[in-house]
Amino acid sequence: MTRRSLARFAGVLAGMALLLPRNSPAAWETGAKAGFDTNVKRSVSGGSGDLFFLGYGAYLRPATGETRLDWTFSAVLEGAAYARNTGLDYGAISLSPGLVYNIGPVGTVSITPFLQYKPVNDTDQSAWAFGGRVDLLQRSGKNLYLGEYGAYTDSRARVDTYTYTEFAAGVVFGGNFRPGSFAEIGYEYSRGESFLTGTDNIVSTGTGGMGGRGRGTSRIFSSAFGTEVVKDSTDSHSVGFSAGIDWTPKVFSVANCTYKAIIGDAGTARSTSGFAGIGYRF
């Protein structure tokens, strides 16, 4: 995506935000998370883990549920620091307007485009990203729900090895077992491109890419990872569990644990990641 196209996309998002009415139940939110990742380098030959700490501030406008067609908006500023792999430290700002169609009491359909800028301490990985997501939600009774979604992401990094496009689809099953709480389990499949490490002894035999499967392309040496990094066409599978609870109308906490396998021609990178966090609504 060219800079001119990015500017046009940002202009569309900004225009949507400016056209939205101002008499809305918007709120500010801030929070912090502590988490882990057992394979931060996406190594196909056994990964190394790390801890991270994340803080964020957000402006959120959720759907009210009072009209058939409603709108949402979020603006999020966040930053994360890693305990050992400091090259992965990053900041990010994300803008995401959306439309929600209420299908009576049984569910909703939502469409949400987004734009994100993410500067990384390892500047090779700094990137602009844009894309969108479509969500379907069906409720069963008062407590249970089933959700399906599809998403597209186009991320353009400073160095091509970290640039990728991705199509993802997933399903989530969960419940609200007490007011202000949720618990859910989900599965996601995605296809696209990803960087991988641990491929030093693998000889490139093709051009890679979605059209011709090879051993990856755009091989570079990364000082942040201390090893070679290769871009590969990949298929990914993720299974995760999430839960959250509102302790008061303003204070809440969330937790997540996810297992992910990234499968490419160069090998399979497996990881388990998770976090626990607390937040405050203004």
Specify the pTM.
0.84
Q: State the pLDDT at residue 242.
A: 98
3-state secondary structure of 97: strand
Average pLDDT of span 256-280: 96
Mean residue pLDDT of the chain comes to 87
pLDDT (0 to 100) of residue 24: 53
Collapsing DSSP to helix, strand or coil, 1 comes out as coil
d(C-alpha 273, C-alpha 41), whole Å: 13
Question: Each residue of 122-146: pLDDT tens digit?
Answer: 999 999 999 999 999 999 888 999 9
Residue 202 is predicted with a pLDDT of 54
Asked if residue 258 lies in contact with residue 272, where contact means CB atoms within 8 angstroms, the answer is yes
Angstrom distances, CA of residue 233 to CA of 46, 190, 210 = 19, 11, 6
Q: Which residues does 5 contact at the CB level (< 8 Å), separation at least 6?
A: none
Answer whether residue 11 shows pLDDT above 90. Answer: no
Mean pLDDT, residues 66-83 taken together: 94
Instruction: Name the pLDDT band for 170 (thresholds 50, 70, 90).
Output: very high
In contact, 131 and 116? CB cutoff 8 Å: no
pLDDT on residue 200: 67
Model confidence band, residue 47 (pLDDT cutoffs 50, 70, 90): confident
pLDDT (mean) for 214-225: 76
Determine the average pLDDT of the residues in 115-121: 97
For 248-262, how does the pLDDT look when each residue is reduced to its tens digit (9 = 90+)?
Answer: 999 999 999 999 999
The secondary structure element, H or E, covering residue 83 is: none
Confidence grade of residue 25 (pLDDT, cut at 50, 70, 90): low
d(CA 57, CA 77): 5
Domains belonging to the chain, first-starting first, are: 3-19+26-281 (2.40.160.40)
Q: Are 41 and 197 in contact (CB under 8 A)?
A: yes
From CA 140, how far away is CA 144, in angstroms rounded? 5
| 1 — pLDDT class (breaks 50, 70, 90) | very low
Above 80 in pLDDT, residue 15?
Answer: no
Give the model confidence (pLDDT) of 81-110 as tens digits. Answer: 999 999 999 999 999 999 999 987 789 999
Q: How do residues 228-246 score in pLDDT, each as one tens digit? A: 999 999 999 999 999 999 9
Centroid of chain to Cα 256: 13
Mean pLDDT of 217-231: 88
User: Residue 233 corresponds to which tokens in the numbers above?
Assistant: 């066409």
* 125: its two tokens: 């990985």
